[in-house]
Amino acid sequence: MDEVFDVMIVGAGAAGLTAGIYASRAKLSTVILNEGAIGGQMVLTNEIANYPGVETTNGFVLANTMKKQAKDFGCKIKSNVKIVEYKLNEKIKSVVLDDGRTFSAKAVILAQGGRPRSLNIPGEETFKGRGISYCATCDGEFFTDKELVVVGGGNSALEEAVTLTKYASKVTIVHQFNQFQAFEHAVQEAKSNPKIDFVMGSELRGFFGNGKLEKVSIENLATKDLFDKKVDGTFIFIGYLPNTESLEGVVTLNERNEIVVDREMRTNIPGVFAAGDCIAKRYRQVTTAVADGTIAALSASEYLRTSK
Amino acid sequence: MKLLQTAVHEIETAAELEKIINENENVMVCCGRMGPMCIPVYDVMEELEEERTNVKFYSMAFDSPEAGIIRNAPMCSSFMGLPFTVYYKNGKMVKATTSIQNRKQITDILDEHLS
């Protein structure tokens, strides 16, 4: 039989890496299986200024530090794997990879994280990188002196809209509701920026252009009126989706496909825990993911100790 | 001077790139920064280096003046998203993509153009 780890963690974002640090430091044999980039959503953040005890850094640096900490404590990390099957109901739990390999453990922590939500409207895939972007710090300079639309009303949308005014001549924020979900300081900063205006209660319906984005179609949700707006670019910040498609029917998910956990990060299956952006919760920050990962690892440790 | 923190070998000069594409049948180059759209592409390339031995994988720093050979390539003329990822077959650029790409999108291109 292949090696049976004490703890198997699925996902290597802030939650998964933190769980890896805590579990391996507790001398539990630990493996992290990761399907995407190490760091998860953390590496999508160019500047992290509010991680306590760490002066302003970027997500890549913070993720790599966490990865090194986990490995230094003995945690094994397998990247770019594809899990095709979960077997979590037995005492020894296992996952099967697409290459046929099986990894087994006595406890599992699910920390698959999330991914940026897309609009899924006509033209979005066609103009990705040709006017449509999901990262202001990556692509903002391509739009120097250009007119932009930013879609969304949360913290990311408003903060990135302000960032984009460093480059763009004008930024129009399009939001489906008539009020923002962002923190008040972000709302005030956007509202006081003379380069930003707002189209509220509206949604984009399509992207159009010839080789590059040239206009968007916007619908006023109250009047149902459609109008076109000439733009050079559109940045989309409309939240995240949990990476839990492969867990349907495996653990209990809520109506938003988030994993349901209790305060100790326990799922409905004994010995299976979850942490980070894939669980049902309100606030999604690096700090909250780190807290989730810590609790999940400590709970897994207790489970291993008490279930012998 | 190397600017990218990735295990994918970094090309530092346009002359080095020219030499590589002239000496190798299949070459993939990701021209980017250490940003959130670029890092996932480097990660996929690191993995594919072991699996696709018929393809040579390289990175190049987008902000290097030497990377103008990619930034100004006709196939990249409409690009407005990092990274610019280019594919060469027998010294000729046969495909280019802009912005983040996942493993399947990359392997589909390798299968179609660099097999």
Flag whether B81 is in a domain: yes
Here the CATH number for the domain that contains residue B47 is 3.40.30.10
Q: Which of B80, B84, B86 to mutate to test the interface with A (most CBs of A within 10 A)?
A: B80
Asked if B12 contacts B66 with a C-beta cutoff of 8 angstroms, the reply is: yes
The band of A44, judged by pLDDT with boundaries at 50, 70 and 90, is: low
Residue B55 lies in a domain: yes
**Mean pLDDT score, A67-77:** 95
Q: How far is A139 from chain B (nearest CA, A)?
A: 5
Q: What is the CA radius of gyration of chain B?
A: 12
Domain holding B104, by residue range, is 10-113
Q: Which of A37, A128, A130 sits opposite B40 (nearest CB)?
A: A37
| Between A110 and A211, residue with greater pLDDT | A110
Report if pTM > 0.80: no
Q: By mean pLDDT, which of A46-50, A159-163, A176-180, A239-243 is the weakest? A: A46-50
pLDDT at B111 over 90: yes
pLDDT higher than 80, residue B112: yes
Q: What are phi and psi of B68, to 5 degrees?
A: -55, -25
SS3 for A256? coil
- What the block records as the tokens of A294 is 């810590």
What local confidence, expressed as pLDDT, does residue A198 receive?
97
Average pLDDT for A201-206: 98
Q: What is the pLDDT of residue A239?
A: 85
Measured CA distances, B80 to A142, A162, B74 (Å): 6, 19, 13
Contact between chains at B39 and A39 (C-beta distance less than 8 A): yes
What is the tens place of the pLDDT at every residue in B3-53?
A: 888 889 999 999 999 999 999 999 999 999 988 788 889 988 988 998 899
Q: Å from B70 to nearest chain A CA?
A: 15
Q: What is the pLDDT of residue B46?
A: 87
Q: Is residue B5 part of a domain?
A: no
Q: What is the mean pLDDT of residues A278-300?
A: 95
- With contacts defined as CB-CB under 8 Å, which chain B residues touch A46? 35-36
Question: CA A189, CA B96: separation in Å to the nearest integer?
Answer: 38
- CB–CB of A130 and B97 under 8 A? no
- Percent of chain B exceeding pLDDT 90 equals 75
User: In this complex, is the C-beta atom of A233 within 8 Å of any C-beta atom belonging to chain B?
Assistant: yes
Place of tokens 């939001």: A175
Helices and strands (H, E) in chain A, number of each type: 6, 17
DSSP A249: T
* Whether pLDDT at A1 is above 60: no
- With respect to residue B4, please indicate whether it lies within any of the assigned structural domains: no
Mean pLDDT across chain A, nearest whole number?
93
* Residue B47 neighbours by CB under 8 Å, 6+ apart: A79, A80, B103
Q: What is the pLDDT of residue B102?
A: 83
A138 CB near a chain B CB, below 8 Å? yes
Read off the pLDDT of each residue in B55-80 and give the average, rounded to a whole number. Answer: 96
- Domain count for chain B: 1
Q: What is the mean pLDDT of chain B?
A: 93
Asked if residue A3 has pLDDT above 90, the reply is no
Q: Is the pLDDT of residue A35 over 90?
A: no
Q: Directed axis angle between helix A14-25 and helix A286-306, to 10°?
A: 40
- For each of the domains in chain A, give its residue range(s) and CATH number, in order of start: 4-116+240-306 (3.50.50.60), 132-236 (3.50.50.60)
Q: Which long-range contacts (CB under 8 A, 24 or more apart) does A141-145 make?
A: A141/A167, A142/A233, A142/B80, A142/B81, A143/A167, A143/A168, A143/A232, A143/A233, A143/B80, A144/A168, A145/A169
Query: Does residue B1 belong to any structural domain of this protein?
Result: no
Three-class SS state of A123? coil
Question: Is there a domain that residue B109 lies in?
Answer: yes
Average pLDDT over residues B58-79: 96
- Residues of chain A numbered 208-227 and touching chain B (CB < 8 Å): 211-212
Q: With 80 as the cut, is the pLDDT of residue A61 above it?
A: yes
In a domain, B3, yes or no: no
- Among A24-33, A44-53, A62-71, A286-295, name the one with the lowest average pLDDT: A44-53
**Cβ contact A133:A235 at 8 Å:** yes
pLDDT for position A240:
83
Cβ within 8 Å of residue A200, ≥6 positions away: A175, A177, A178, A179
**Mind listing the pLDDT tens digit for each residue in A99-127?**
888 999 999 999 999 888 899 999 999 99
The answer as to whether B100 is a domain residue is: yes
- Tell me: pLDDT of A233 over 90: yes
C-alpha A213/C-alpha A208 separation (Å) is 6
